[in-house]
Structure 1
Amino acid sequence: MSYLKFKLRQLMQRMWFLPAAFSGIALLTILIAYLLAQYAPEELPFVMPANAVQTILQILASSLLTVAVFALSTVVSAFSGASAATTPRAVPLIAGYLRAQTSISVFIGAFLFSIVGIIGLSVGIYSEAGRLFLFVVTLGVVVLVVTSLIRWIGQISAIGRVGYTISAVETATRSAIETMAEFPYLGGQRLDGDGEGKPIPAPRSGYVQHCDMPALQKLAEEHELRVIVMARPGTYATPVRPLMLVDGRADEEIREQLIDCFVLGENRTFDSDPRFGMIVLGEIGDKAMSAGINDPGTGIVVIDTATRLLVDWREEPVEVRYDRVYVRPIRPAEVLEDVYRPTARDGAAIVEVMIRLMKSLETVAECNSAFARAAHDFARVSLRRAEAAMTLDDDLATLKAVADWIKPD
Structure 2
Amino acid sequence: MSYLRFKLGQLLQRMWFLPAAFSLAAVLTVVVAYVLARFAPDELPFVLPSNAVQSILQILASSLLTVAVFALSTVVGAFSAASSATTPRAVPLIAGDLQAQTSISVFIGAFLYSIVGIIGLSAGLYSDAGRLFLFVMTIGVLVLVVTSLIRWIGHISAIGRVGHTIGVVETATRRSLLSMSEHPLLDCRRLEGDAEGEPISAARPGYVQHCDARAIQKLAEEHELTVAVLARPGTYATPVRALMRVQGQVDEELRDALLDCFVLGDQRAYDTDPRFGFIVLGEIADKAMSASINDPGTAIVVIDTVTRLLLEWEDETKSGENDRVLVAPLLPRDVLEDFYRPIARDGAQIIEVVARMLKSLETVAACKPGFADAAIAVARDLVRRAEKAMEADSDLAAMRRAAHWIDS
**TM-score normalised to structure 2 length:** 0.99
Distance 2:272 2:171 in 1: 13
Specify the SS of the correspondent of 1:325: strand
Equivalent residue for 2:50?
Answer: 50
Residue of structure 2 equivalent to 1:404 = 404
Q: Is the 8 A contact 1:37 1:130 kept in 2?
A: yes
Whole-Å separation in 2 of the counterparts to 1:340 and 1:162: 19
Aligned residues: 408
The amino acid across from 1:256 in the alignment is D
Question: What is the deviation of 1:195?
Answer: 1.2
In 1, distance between residues paired with 2:311 and 2:102?
33
Tell me how far apart the structure 2 counterparts of residues 396 and 138 of structure 1 sit (CA, whole Å): 68
Q: Could you list the per-position Cα deviations for residues 362-409 of structure 1 after superposition, in whole angstroms to 9, with x for gaps in the alignment? A: 00011111111100110011000000000001111111011100027x
Query: Which secondary structure does the structure 1 equivalent of 2:305 belong to?
Result: helix
AA aligned to 2:82 is: A
| CA displacement, residues 284-306 of structure 1 (integer Å, 9 cap, x when unaligned) | 01101111111000000110001
- Please report how far the alpha carbon of residue 141 of structure 1 lies from its aligned counterpart in structure 2 after TM superposition: 0.6
SS at match of 1:186: helix
The separation in 1 between residues aligned to 2:261 and 2:46, in whole angstroms, is 62
Deviation at 1:315, TM superposition (A): 2.3
Structure 1 residue aligned with 2:123: 123
1:293 corresponding residue in structure 2: 293
- Give the equivalent residue in structure 2 for 1:222: 222
Q: CA deviation at 1:207?
A: 0.2
1:307 is the counterpart of 2:307: yes
Q: In the alignment, what sits opposite 1:8? A: 8
Query: Which 5+ residue runs of structure 2 have no aligned equivalent?
Result: none
Separation of aligned partners in 2, 1:265 and 1:319: 28
Q: After superposition, where does 1:143-292 map in structure 2 within 5 Å?
A: 143-292=143-292
Q: 1:368-379 residue pairs with structure 2 within 5 A?
A: 368-379=368-379
Corresponding position: 1:320 with 2:300: no
What SS class does the counterpart of residue 209 from structure 1 fall into?
strand
Distance in 2, matches of 1:124 and 1:315, equals 66
1:361 aligns with 2:361: yes
Distance 1:188 1:243 in 2: 16
Over the matched positions of the two proteins, sequence identity in percent amounts to 70
Contact 1:182 1:316 in 2 (8 A): no
Partners in 2 of 1:283 and 1:164 — Cα distance? 15
Counterpart of 1:24 in structure 2 is 24
Deviation at 1:318, TM superposition (A): 3.7
In structure 1, what is the Cα distance between the partners aligned to 2:374 and 2:214?
A: 33
State the SS of the aligned residue for 2:129. helix
Per the alignment, in what secondary structure is the counterpart of residue 246 of structure 1?
A: strand
**CA offset at residue 272 of structure 1?**
1.4
Per-residue displacement from partner, 1:215-242 (whole Å, max 9, x unpaired)? 1001000000000000000000000000
Superposed CA RMSD = 0.9
CA contact (8 A) 2:316 2:329 kept: no
Q: TM-score, normalised by structure 1?
A: 0.99
- Give the superposition deviation at 1:317: 3.8
CA distance in 1, matches of 2:136, 2:246: 63
- Determine whether 1:71 maps to 2:89: no
Q: CA deviation at 1:316?
A: 5.1
4+ residue runs over 2 A deviation: 315-319
In structure 2, distance between residues paired with 1:221 and 1:297: 54
> Partner of 2:224: helix, strand, or coil?
coil
For the residue of structure 1 that corresponds to 2:185, the secondary structure is: coil
Partner of 1:346: 346
Aligned twin of 1:91: 91
Counterpart amino acid of 1:308?
R
Deviations along 1:114-170, one digit per CA (max 9) or x if unpaired, are 000000000011010000000000001111101111000010000000000000000
Rounded to whole Å, the distance in 2 between the matches of 1:302 and 1:47 is 61
2:255 partner letter:
R
Shift of residue 2, structure 1, vs aligned partner = 1.1
CA distance in 2, matches of 1:319, 1:184: 7
Secondary structure of 1:108's counterpart equals helix
Per-residue CA distance 1:186-212 (angstroms, 9 max, x = gap) = 010111111111100111000000001
Amino acid at match of 1:331: L
